[in-house]
């Protein structure tokens, strides 16, 4: 731990299983829900090919629909396997696996049983982080921005910075570290930028049987089809004022748009679309940030990072450049959010999800037989 645990701070263990469907991340954070006091152990539990296929089959489905129950049980079991390998913690933040996200329609659905996790680990579990925000009129995503505000202070940023998470979709958080509170006016603006890793992962899985384009090598060898990029960026989503959020499969026609291209050209074009979507998103921010700190799996894609550097008007660096762990940032975020939820602090608000006012959230499950 970087700093001695302060009075009132808790040791929380957060988890994240993203839309890339590669596995479960878990990370320990020491925080009081406002300030970060230190970082602890991390862990990862990969999904096997058969498990990923089960999860993929449930994407876009809602409770009670075919394949969902088996996939939800898999999510719970995989998380419990990993969480039980950690030592003593005060509580767990369990995000679950997003199968469907339709904030202005049927709501949002993260599969997994927080009570079962609590019983398996013997620790209180905070889960179902997004439903309260959706019920209040928000998009339900992104939720990591309040943690990004804390991180901007942790790294002692003196000017506005942006965090760019490149998972299945991309999301951008613009942060003014001088804001006294994450939900103070002008403190945060966050939203999903557009497709990121998911279309590339789906392409190489479908055509080549790969889980990903390792290091972006395939995309780097291809030629971008600019007309396809321009056509894609004319989608109405990119004209919507943020905050705004996306489901993993919000652009189902992407595969069709690159169908006639070679594997390399298709990958290169999808990468360029992701980068141009970030550039379009940055135009909504209050100012150009001092730099963009990239987290998530996409920062390992050299073609993606090169495309971002080409189209963005500021420095673009992985979060490791400021001493953070880009593989575990979202898991840490749900540790942070779990402590905020326990203390009744808001997790989202007008600048992050579009909720009309700051919204507390999360459901707390206690282990069977415990004192609450």
Please write the tens of the pLDDT for every residue from 172-217.
999 999 999 999 999 999 999 999 998 999 999 999 999 899 999 9
Specify the 3-state DSSP secondary structure of 193: strand
- Identify the helix (H) or strand (E) that includes residue 133: helix 131-135
- Identify the helix (H) or strand (E) that includes residue 215: none
Residue 61: pLDDT band by 50, 70, 90 thresholds? very high
Average pLDDT (96-122) is 95
Given the candidates 3.30.420.40, 1.20.120.340, 3.90.180.10, 3.40.50.2300, the CATH classification of the domain at 10-140+335-365 is 3.30.420.40
How far is the C-alpha of 35 from the C-alpha of 19, rounded, in Å?
28
- Closest by alpha carbon to 140, among 123, 126, 128, 150? 128
Residue 344: pLDDT band by 50, 70, 90 thresholds? very high
- 2-27 pLDDT, tens digit per residue, is 445 676 899 999 999 987 788 999 99
Fold match flag (10-140+335-365 vs 156-322)? yes
Domain residue ranges in the chain:
10-140+335-365, 156-322
How far is the C-alpha of 339 from the C-alpha of 93, rounded, in Å?
8
Cis peptide before 243 (omega within 30 of 0): yes
Question: Per the CATH hierarchy, to which homologous superfamily does domain 156-322 belong?
Answer: ATPase, nucleotide binding domain (3.30.420.40)
167: which 2 tokens? 């998972």
The per-residue pLDDT for 1 is 46
In the chain, what percentage of residues exceed pLDDT 90? Answer: 88
Torsion angle in degrees (nearest 10) through CA of 58, 63, 69, 75? 70
């Amino acid at each position: 731990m970087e700093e001695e645990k302060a009075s009132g701070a808790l040791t929380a263990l957060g988890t994240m299983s993203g839309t890339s469907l590669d596995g479960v991340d878990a990370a320990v954070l020491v925080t009081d829900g406002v300030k970060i006091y230190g970082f602890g152990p991390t862990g990862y539990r990969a999904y096997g090919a058969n498990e990923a296929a089960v999860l993929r089959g449930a994407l876009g489905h809602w409770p009670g629909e075919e394949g969902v129950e088996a996939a939800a049980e898999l999510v719970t079991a995989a998380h419990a396997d990993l969480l039980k390998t950690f030592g003593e913690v005060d509580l767990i933040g369990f995000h679950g696996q997003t199968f469907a996200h339709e904030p202005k329609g049927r709501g949002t659905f993260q599969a997994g049983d927080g009570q079962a996790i609590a019983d398996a680990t013997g620790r209180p579990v905070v889960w179902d982080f997004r439903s309260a925000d959706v019920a209040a009129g928000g998009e339900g995503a992104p939720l990591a921005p309040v943690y990004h505000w804390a991180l901007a202070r942790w790294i002692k940023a003196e000017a506005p910075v942006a965090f760019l998470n490149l998972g299945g979709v991309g999301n951008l958080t613009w942060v003014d570290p001088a804001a006294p509170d994450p939900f103070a006016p002008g403190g945060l603006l966050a939203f999903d930028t557009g497709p990121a890793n998911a279309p590339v992962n789906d392409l190489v899985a479908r055509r080549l049987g790969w889980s990903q384009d390792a290091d972006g090598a395939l995309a780097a060898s291809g030629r971008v089809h600019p007309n396809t990029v321009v056509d894609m960026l004319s989608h109405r989503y990119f004209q919507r004022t943020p905050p705004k959020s996306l489901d993993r499969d919000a652009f189902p026609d992407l595969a069709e748009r690159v169908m006639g291209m070679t594997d390399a050209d298709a990958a290169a074009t999808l990468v360029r679309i992701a980068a141009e979507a970030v550039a379009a998103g940055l135009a909504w921010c209050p100012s150009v940030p001092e730099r963009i700190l990239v987290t998530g799996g996409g920062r390992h894609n050299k073609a993606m990072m090169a495309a971002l550097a080409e189209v963005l008007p500021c420095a673009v660096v992985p979060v490791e450049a400021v001493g953070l762990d880009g593989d575990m940032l979202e898991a840490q975020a749900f540790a942070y959010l779990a402590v905020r939820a326990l203390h009744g602090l808001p997790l989202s608000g007008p600048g992050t999800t579009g909720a009309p006012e700051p919204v507390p959230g999360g459901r707390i499950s206690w282990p069977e037989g415990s004192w609450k």
